[in-house]
Structure 1
Amino acid sequence: MDKKLLGIFAFIVLIILLAGCQEEPQEESAPDEAVAEETSEAETRAQQYIELWNNQEFSKMYGSFLNKGSKDVYGSLNFVTWQEDIYEQLGVSDVNVTYLPPEEAVEYSKDTPADFDIQVEIETLAGPVEFEQTLTLLHETHDEMEDWFVEWDPSFILPRLELGDQVEVQMTEAVRGELVDRNDRPIAANSEAMTVGVVPQNFTSPEQKQKLARALEIDVKEIDAAMNKSWVQPHYFVPIKQVPASDQLTLDRVFAVPGTQQEKSTFREYPYGEALAHLTGYIGQITAEQLEELEDQGYGPNDMIGRQGLERALEERLRGKPGVKVLAHRASGGDPVTVFENDAGEGEVVKLTIDAELQKSIFESMGGEPGASAAVHPETGETLALVSSPSYDPNEFLKGITGSRYQELSDDPNKPLFNRFAASYSPGSTIKPITAAIGLETGAIDPEEGVTIEGESWQLNASWGGFHITRLHPEIENPVDLHKALVYSDNIYFAQKGLEIGREEMIAGYENFGFTDNIPFLLNLQPSQITSKGTFGSDGQTADTAYGQGQMLVNVLHLAAMYEPILNGGTMYEASLFLEEDEPVVWKEGLISDDNAELLRTAMRSAVTDGYAQSANIGEVAVAGKTGTAELKMRTEDEGKENGWFVGYDSDNPNAIIAMMIEGIEDESNGSDYVAAKVASVLKKHKE
């Protein structure tokens, strides 16, 4: 063979041999895909486990995600039941476990553990518990299924927790913030007390329960209810009732009952009792309904919570945060190990604009008669007093009011539990200065112009039928001008002027003074209304409303505020309640000119010195104001009944406008002058 052809043939054979020596060809992406699949599976399993953890689905975590070794060592009793019990004792409301994936892709081999750094945040009733952990997953075969499974131990529940530990949760009561008045006088305060309770394993006989119930003046059912709550363990201290430290007689009786314990605590106290009850409200043990609604805010089944008044409205500011210490008692003995601790946090001390002594003076002046009163500062709108009479003692509720006593209060015909300062009432003639201000500002009332009015009654025309406007003092000399009409409270004058102002201007004028608005105030107050429909349906209704009858209703705090523009130059402020607020907030402004306001102030002083509020004409204080007698017409059962009003202030030093209403004065010979005397006595005391 030719040497050249032989060389070519040899080269071809060499190429074939070399090709035969190479491995079977594979797709280039196969190794990368295998790594990616393994990485994806491990991370996906970790993320699924974390999602179940955040939802506290411990049974699913155990059944589908725990590895064999963890199941063999701990079992479902420790993983599921123990974990659920501890979460319940801590009052866990939220779990947030997060996982931050590595910045670069990690090749997770099935032969080595897959580790993930996690951050655990558990929101408990005593605040957050936060810690870091490493979540380790192992690749195993379970029932012929290969997957990644979590390696677990008790430190995932709480740091330093070990198998066999007996966990004890010690709660430290939060110090509730106090309410103080403008002069730092306490009106809702904390005083020393003893919490009386039992440890269930030492308190097992019916005789013990009966003796304790008698000592605390409660029902045995209340003791059973406390001991049967879900968080109770045999060795836990279960609080039953707080007793003031000063009540040594009760504490001695309790101490004589075997198996009882006493722990120092603080006790809520209301030093002004009935005088401030409807304003402060009171605290009480959280109800099942409240607990269900507020559980995610850290409340527990034994917590006290604001139930009425400011205690309820300011709950978030006053409550504070309870403290908690979680102790692990080791199976091997020795001192317990603290696995978590969070100190209690105090609630705020809230300083109010209220003058507690003025409030007390107003309440006492009302003598337990049904009615309402409010006092405001005309230059700032600060609420100085809010009174509802008769009242109840909020301290009774704290001590554990009996069912019979509560029923007694509920059945009282004077309704001491009803908050009258939150309601609205027909204002009678106390609205006349406001009607006068509207008429003066619109030009419908000329203060110099007098009108001739004859007799006790008047009607616009025969179309009114049997409806007449009547007045109490027909002896007033004609002509009757604005000054006389205010001094002697002439209904016919104001009825006629109301018609001259006109329906639309009257509605607009009253709305400028805040009628139909929601009253800007922390507590819910019924808005004042002009009519039930907001419009006048007839001339008769317009005339009737102009002197505070018809369907007009006012809230007592709003009425006091409506007199502010007459004293300060035309501004009505939002009724403030917190002394911390820097500047008064204007509600309405430009309501009356200085000249017109001066006319009204002069007339209201003369109403006391020359008119029919003579009981307020005392030498110690230059009282000015306006009386009002409101006939109750809206319900047939109220026919013949009257409410008496007086809105007054010290004209020499107008630092408080007091509006007071007393129900059922129809039997008083001097009518609303009876109320004026009460306000004058308060102003005298307030000046001293």
Structure 2
Amino acid sequence: MFWILIPIILVIALLAAAVFFFKWKNKGPEPEKLLKTYMSYIEKQDYEKMYEMIDPDSEKKKEFLSRNENIYEGIGASDIQIKIKETKEDGAKRIVSYTTVMQSLGGEISFDNTATFQRDKDKGYVLEWTDSVIFPDLSAEDKVRIYSDEAARGQIVDRNNTVLAGTGQAWSCGLVPGKMNEDASADITKLAGLLGLTEDSIQSSLSQNWVADDSFVPLSTISMSDETLVDQLLEIPGVKLTATEVRSYPLGASASHLIGYTGSVTAEDLEKHKGEGYTSDSVIGKSGLESLYEKELRGENGYTIAIEDENGEQKSILAYREKKDGETIKLTIDASLQQSLYDQFREDEGASVAMNPYTGEVLALVSTPSYDNNAFILGISNSEWDALNNDEKKPMYNRFRQTFAPGSTLKPFTAAIGLAEGTINTNESGGSQGTSWQKDESWGSYFVTTLQGYSPVNLENALVYSDNIYFAQAALNLGAEKFTAGLEKFGFNKELPFEIRMTASQYDNDGEITDEIQLADSGYGQGEILSNPLHLASMYTAFSNNGNMLKPYLLYKDDPQSEVWISEAISPENTSLLVNDLISVVNKPEGSGYAAHRDDTTLAGKTGTAELKSEQGTQGHEIGWFSVFTTDANISKPILLVSMVDGVDGKGGSNYVVEKDAAVLDQYLQ
């Protein structure tokens, strides 16, 4: 019996051993899967997990983590794909052949490679790691070098190729430690005050590991034009100034809201633009057109990624990408007109828009007061930043993108809606002979007021004298439904099609006029009506294009062609009628825009003063407007100008704006 059991026991033991060997041999994932997992950790930058998968006998963890991080992140490795070709057994080892394709700063890198896995009794298969796992030609003594060829950032120029953003020069101010006084504490205090830095930050810069006695330690960038500051700095022992290239904005404050500025990338920028080639040393557009056209302006840096031996000799090139300089962005803007408008309104809280009324080209976009965007390039101090942000006039606020009560500049469009609906008849008188009016006693103490009486009370005179009562009645005669439908036909509550996003114009805070008094006020551009200056300019292009509203645009075209945004916003017949009335506004001595009339060319336009009252009978805060355009399509420089000043109280109302625009037109048209 015993001898019979022996063979059975042997068979069972052999079977158990086979099962144990099979389980031991196949413990954990197969090498092919392990390799893919290992490679997936590279993009996740999880080098700890990678280390856990290699030969456990390795004691060079710190070197492994540093080597992999420096190489993979240095070359900008991404989108790593591997394809297994074959797997061979070599005793207790498995050798996996595979192809790798990855993206890098220098473009695509591809290569064939092998990875060796050995069995571990506890972990299953582990990777036998050598430097060649990173790249086949890489040994422990070799280095992966990245050489960059920086692309030049593209310029922004105006229609006449005047540079609005380009390359300029400034002084890089720094210290040479070996030339400083032995006790430099007083000098550092003085230097900190001149540069707007803290003494601690200067000391920290001087304490960096690489700093030697003859090193130049850069601290700040300053304008070459500030000669007084330069002289004061050079009086301090150890201070050195070296010329350096910087982004420069020749128009400065006059175009800063339009052009914007660049700055060093932040961690948030790197995350937002991951995989786009930005590094911690990159510059990126922060606002304005610098940000809007960042992709076109920045270009693409050139890179060479190579393996070099311990003697610095090149063994192989992994990737090469030729640099591509940024594009030049040419605008329809006229730099001299932009400057002229800024000079006139620089102290006012306002905005100005200029267009060619026959093409839609935007000739100027100005917001005042303003700030100098060059300050952000040279390095703005905390005190300067605080001053900008705490200034009650809000110089950083971009007003040409916002909406404001348009006042009487809306009246021609109330008239256009009334003419289209048949509620205004130019042959009949309307309005009131007085300067104060209410519909009936249901309005209580509320009256619509206007500045002066006149006769006869008709559409032309209502526009010439800017009669609020006439247009309040016009809106009431239309009714809220027809009036607001008419405004929507002019683009209210719609996004303006333009390169820069503008706040949409509105006729009511909640989208519907339900109050009778509000409707009356809306007829002359108050109530809850808000208009964006560029949208208003687009509305006025209808008077130059047989009633069609043009789409404004900013990118220059060699052969400018107009594009209609809203067709037949006004009928051709009514357009002609209203243009004649608007000519009277500017050219009749009693007209509210007469201060801008010219003898060399005929202008048409409309003034507007929106009085925002907290309650009836109180003195209101006033917003002044002037919309004016040349009426001759054949003159060499046709122009449509819309200017707004928020705060014309005590300055003569809209006439304050008219006189300033007249000075601008004088310079532009002559």
Could you state the TM-score of these two structures normalised by the residue count of structure 2? 0.84
**Aligned residue among 212, 237, 260 for 1:281:** 260
Contact 1:375-1:385 at 8 Å conserved across structures = yes
Q: Using the aligned pairs only, state the percent identity.
A: 34
Deviation at 1:261, TM superposition (A): 9.7
Spell out, residue by residue over 1:30-73, the C-alpha distance to the aligned partner (whole angstroms, 9 max, x if none): 9xx99x989x93322322322233433222222223486xx37x
Asked whether 1:679 is paired with 2:661, we answer yes
Asked whether 1:368 is paired with 2:347, we answer yes
Asked whether 1:623 is paired with 2:603, we answer yes
**Aligned residue among 117, 124, 127 for 1:149:** 127
- Bigger CA radius of gyration: 1
Contact 1:459-1:469 at 8 Å conserved across structures = yes
Distance 2:615 2:403 in 1: 15
Spell out, residue by residue over 1:555-581, the C-alpha distance to the aligned partner (whole angstroms, 9 max, x if none): 111111110111111222332111259
**Aligned residue among 406, 430, 442 for 1:427:** 406
Contact 1:440-1:446 at 8 Å conserved across structures = yes
Distance 1:295 1:251 in 2: 44
Contact 2:84-2:99 at 8 Å conserved across structures = no
- Find the counterpart in structure 2 of residue 462 from structure 1: 441
**Aligned residue among 616, 620, 640 for 1:640:** 620
Contact 1:135-1:151 at 8 Å conserved across structures = no
- Find the counterpart in structure 2 of residue 505 from structure 1: 482
Contact 2:431-2:470 at 8 Å conserved across structures = no
- Find the counterpart in structure 2 of residue 64 from structure 1: 53
Asked whether 1:599 is paired with 2:588, we answer no
- Find the counterpart in structure 2 of residue 668 from structure 1: 651
Contact 1:352-1:579 at 8 Å conserved across structures = yes
Contact 1:625-1:646 at 8 Å conserved across structures = yes
Distance 2:113 2:179 in 1: 42
- Find the counterpart in structure 1 of residue 517 from structure 2: 540
Asked whether 1:556 is paired with 2:533, we answer yes
- State the secondary structure of the residue aligned to 2:273: helix
Deviation at 1:628, TM superposition (A): 0.8
Asked whether 1:523 is paired with 2:508, we answer no
Distance 2:579 2:166 in 1: 41
Distance 1:292 1:202 in 2: 42
- State the secondary structure of the residue aligned to 1:101: strand
Distance 1:80 1:656 in 2: 65
Distance 2:83 2:196 in 1: 57
Distance 1:89 1:260 in 2: 33
Distance 1:106 1:414 in 2: 72
- Find the counterpart in structure 2 of residue 11 from structure 1: none
**Aligned residue among 149, 161, 166 for 1:184:** 161
Contact 1:178-1:349 at 8 Å conserved across structures = yes
Deviation at 1:217, TM superposition (A): 4.9
- Structure 1's 255 and 450: CA in aligned 2 closer, same or farther, altered over 3 A? same
**Aligned residue among 599, 605, 609 for 2:587:** 609
- Structure 1's 134 and 445: CA in aligned 2 closer, same or farther, altered over 3 A? same
- State the secondary structure of the residue aligned to 1:85: helix
Spell out, residue by residue over 1:239-295, the C-alpha distance to the aligned partner (whole angstroms, 9 max, x if none): 754456778985996899769896x75311111111101111111223344344434
Q: How does 1:318-397 map to 2 (within 5 A)?
A: 318-324=297-303, 331=310, 333=311, 342-397=321-376
Distance 1:157 1:251 in 2: 54
Cα RMSD for the two superposed structures: 4.0
Spell out, residue by residue over 1:105-136, the C-alpha distance to the aligned partner (whole angstroms, 9 max, x if none): 76645467524232241434xx5351314032
Give unmatched runs, 5+ long, in structure 1.
Answer: 1-25
Contact 1:41-1:148 at 8 Å conserved across structures = no
Distance 1:386 1:604 in 2: 24
- Find the counterpart in structure 2 of residue 100 from structure 1: 83
- Find the counterpart in structure 2 of residue 481 from structure 1: 458
- State the secondary structure of the residue aligned to 1:607: helix
Which amino acid counterpart does residue 391 of structure 1 have in structure 2? S
**Aligned residue among 443, 447, 453 for 2:422:** 443
- Structure 1's 457 and 366: CA in aligned 2 closer, same or farther, altered over 3 A? same
Distance 2:383 2:429 in 1: 61
Distance 2:582 2:659 in 1: 15
- Structure 1's 215 and 547: CA in aligned 2 closer, same or farther, altered over 3 A? closer
Deviation at 1:601, TM superposition (A): 0.9
Spell out, residue by residue over 1:283-314, the C-alpha distance to the aligned partner (whole angstroms, 9 max, x if none): 12233443444344333233322222111222
Aligned residue-pair number: 637
Give unmatched runs, 5+ long, in structure 2.
Answer: 1-14
- Find the counterpart in structure 1 of residue 639 from structure 2: 656
Contact 2:113-2:133 at 8 Å conserved across structures = no
Asked whether 1:53 is paired with 2:42, we answer yes
- State the secondary structure of the residue aligned to 2:662: helix
Distance 1:343 1:169 in 2: 13
- State the secondary structure of the residue aligned to 1:424: coil
Distance 2:71 2:216 in 1: 16
Spell out, residue by residue over 1:205-234, the C-alpha distance to the aligned partner (whole angstroms, 9 max, x if none): 9959948757755335556788999xx988
Q: How does 1:156-171 map to 2 (within 5 A)?
A: 156-157=133-134, 161-165=138-142, 171=148
**Aligned residue among 100, 112, 126 for 1:119:** 100
- Structure 1's 413 and 146: CA in aligned 2 closer, same or farther, altered over 3 A? closer
Which amino acid counterpart does residue 50 of structure 2 have in structure 1? M
Which amino acid counterpart does residue 378 of structure 1 have in structure 2? P
Which amino acid counterpart does residue 647 of structure 1 have in structure 2? S
Which amino acid counterpart does residue 57 of structure 1 have in structure 2? D
Contact 2:87-2:94 at 8 Å conserved across structures = no
Contact 1:161-1:339 at 8 Å conserved across structures = no
Contact 2:406-2:525 at 8 Å conserved across structures = yes
- Structure 1's 511 and 206: CA in aligned 2 closer, same or farther, altered over 3 A? farther
Spell out, residue by residue over 1:159-182, the C-alpha distance to the aligned partner (whole angstroms, 9 max, x if none): 754424566655554421111111
Asked whether 1:490 is paired with 2:475, we answer no
Contact 1:354-1:383 at 8 Å conserved across structures = yes
- Structure 1's 82 and 452: CA in aligned 2 closer, same or farther, altered over 3 A? closer
Contact 1:374-1:387 at 8 Å conserved across structures = yes
- State the secondary structure of the residue aligned to 1:407: helix
Q: How does 1:207-226 map to 2 (within 5 A)?
A: 210=188, 217-220=196-199
- Find the counterpart in structure 2 of residue 306 from structure 1: 285
Distance 2:408 2:613 in 1: 15
Distance 2:352 2:600 in 1: 22
- State the secondary structure of the residue aligned to 2:340: helix
- State the secondary structure of the residue aligned to 1:100: strand
Distance 1:302 1:108 in 2: 47
Could you state the TM-score of these two structures normalised by the residue count of structure 1? 0.82
